[in-house]
Structure 1
Amino acid sequence: MRKKTKKFLFRCQSPVISGPDDDNLAICDQCRHTFCKKCYETFHSQTMCPRDYLIEQMKLQEQKELQRLQQEKEAALAQLIKTKAHTKSWNEQKKNTTQRYHHIVIKLSEPNSLLQEILTTERINSDGIQFCPDSLNGHNIENGEKIFQYLIDYNKRREEEVFQNQLQTCSICTDIMPGLDCIRLHRCGHFYCRPCLNHYIRMTFDNGKFGENLHCPQDHCKQALLPTEIKQTLQNEELYEKYERLTLQHGLESMKDIVWCPRCQSPVISGPDDDNLAICDRCRYTFCKKCYETFHSQAMCPKDYLIEQMKLQKQKELERLQREKEVALAQLTKSKGHKKSSNEQNIATQRYRKIIIKLSEQNSLLQEILTAERINSQGIQYCPQCHIAIEKNGGCSHMHCTRCNFDFTWQTTQEPTTTIITPYLEDEDFTEVESIKEEFNKVAYLVETPLHEKAEQNEEISSDQAHEQEQEENDEDLKISIDNKSVIGSAILNRVTKCPNKSCKKINVKITQDNWIICSACMKQFCFLCRCGVKTPEHFGKKCLRTTPV
């Protein structure tokens, strides 16, 4: 059967069914026009169409030109081989007769200067020493750099050959294998076996790192892997295409002048910052590069307008908060002044008291006072049975002591009141003591130990401690006295009292609101208010209160 194809005639533009491939005749059934189906001209009776003839002539001319170039190339190669053979024979003859083997080591930063000196010396001494004429032809700085680069490339090739022919140990799996099965990184020189490096690259891809963020697996090595090394390791075209796509996308996203088309998600190069117009070269979509909506001709983008309104609203809110802060500070200053005046009035009406402590015991006493203040400020209560301090951080009022397994009810109290010592409670104990000590020293004054007390102390001290007493005599003589005529002094004296035992006289600190005090030195039990001895709780029911605020 004849193969039939459709042709379109340029006269009436009607389809025409053509005959076999070796027959160029085509006849239109509509207008009866006969034409050549190759050149679409009126049918010609030549065996070969003029268009085919022209194509054949161009092919013949191109073939002759290729033959001529091939002949010139062969002649140039023959001339080059002849020149190299002559140079090689002269160099081998010189090497075998006069030269002794030696080598040098130069710095990588000194190739140009060294080659320039060598070439200059050859030109100067060329009249007295026999050199190969071909070795001095065309020697200059440019050729010297080419020679040095050739030496570097040759050295790298030789190192790679030696590396591949020896056994290597992978730094990840520590397996020993031929260097041919390992991949050595170009930038840092570290090498790994292909499976380990392949697993590392895939795992790094899963963590979202690619491009310059894909570093060498070696610890503290920040050199990135080359794309050719990644492709050689993966040997997966689909995964490598994904790597290239993500790397390109990451690079485009890091460019400030690139925006993404909201319609086809193609990168678009944006114009100046004051021009919001962006036109996608792929889908020809015009959009605003700030709000990514269809381009609008307003001077300000609606997104920028919204941002400006939010900034103005935020600024007004900050101004309102600033005004409220100023009002609160003024109110606080006023309340502090009122509180200070009330404290001064309380100080004027209270009974005069003072205590005398040793200078060496100052820090420990202040630390106990701060600890008691912290316990009261944090709402700590004591177990009724074992008297261990317990802090409640939530839940109901039913409490269980983990030390003695005693169940009791948490006493609901008001919010902890602040005193003059509360502001000195900070994170570091050293800072707390030093800060309150500074205020303490402003109102305290030094006193000397009376002579009769010194005599009593000397009688009580044994002979073994006489030598130490002499060395510390000056320190023991220094004592500090403080009264309740100052704010800080009143706050301290409201928490401390002296043990009623004449042989002890230890200053004890009231920790909680409980007035039943046990001396930490002689273990004597007494009342904080009247300093009388206490043996049973009946004392607080008849004479004094069991609990009073500090």
Structure 2
Amino acid sequence: MEVIYQWVQRLQSSSLSYLGFDDEIILRKADQTYAQDGGDKRALTYNAPPDVTIPRIIRYNDDKRHEAFLYAIHYCTICFSEFPGVDFIKLPCHHFFCQKCMQTYCKMHVKEGTVVKLLCPDTKCGAVVPPNILKRLLGEDEFERWETLLLQRTLDAMVDVVYCPRCQTACLEDAGDEAVCPSCLFSFCALCRERRHVGVECLSAEEKIQILEERQKSARTKGDIQKLMDEVCTIKEILKDAKQCPHCKMAISKIEGCNKMTCWNCGRFFCYQCSAAISGYDHFNGDCVIFDEAEIDRWQMPMNRRLHRMVVGQAQVALLARGHAYPYPTCGQAIRKIGNNNHLYCWSCNQHCCALCRTSVQKMSQHFGPTGCKQHTENP
């Protein structure tokens, strides 16, 4: 059983009265040569120091707590099912989930390559799932892929690590923005990935395309140069609408949302407007804005259309007779039948219904037809 807190309370409250003392106890050093005949073998025959006794008590308490956890019934917060403790995976952060859910969760991140997000599934916890647990949950090939992806993400997040343009070997960048490949011994510029050029500035994407076009006119093997031109043009188009992460230099493009970006490679935050590294939203109290005007207009457009439909619908119901307004079966909002069309649309909940049977319409082709309600009838 779990002993620490129970014994602490007992020692504080009733130990003196149980031993027959009133106010104090005088401790004397025990004879270390004294040996007990029989009794509990865990009892010490000498005065053990606290740095020895306390860890023993804590280990004993942890073992008993783990033993009680294994035989108890627990609730998984992912699949909302109950299982015995032997079917759970307990993380170092003391959160636990059933083995099936944790296995699916880990395999999903390894398959998608998002190993940096392989954290505790609890929303308020950011602890990393340790490798010994991953080795139990993943297969041999999946665990090897996890190690490879983690190493790749770690290298990509390091600012001074670049890849050789010839053999793609990881290289260390020196102070002069240059690197030497340890595999093929190719010396190249870490900025433009071209051959080392001391004292000469790197060529821009436009200058590279112009040089390749000139080479293509006089070259015999035009296929290789065309391939290089396509790669340069692709990089140029990517960087046109993308921003580089200030930590790992990964190019990231924003599709929609706010200007606070999360790098999928290193997990750091940065501002998409000025490319500065940020931690929270205090950065947007200055010159940068959290939302662009185009994004706000895009969000307001459907809201304005819905507001227009709402005003028109309310006006139509108010102008018509009582018999021509139908309460929608879900929200109860009064809606109008236009002409002889029984297909009604509710502006309040954005749903469709039938004016004849007063039920919701999921598929118009199935509801209105020879075997269903008639779509066009005169008003009653």
Instruction: Give the TM-score band, short-chain normalised.
Output: 0.3 to 0.5
**Normalised TM-score (structure 2):** 0.41
Q: Between Structure 1 and Structure 2, whose CA radius of gyration is higher?
A: 1
**Normalised TM-score (structure 1):** 0.29
- Of Structure 1 and Structure 2, the greater helix share is in 1
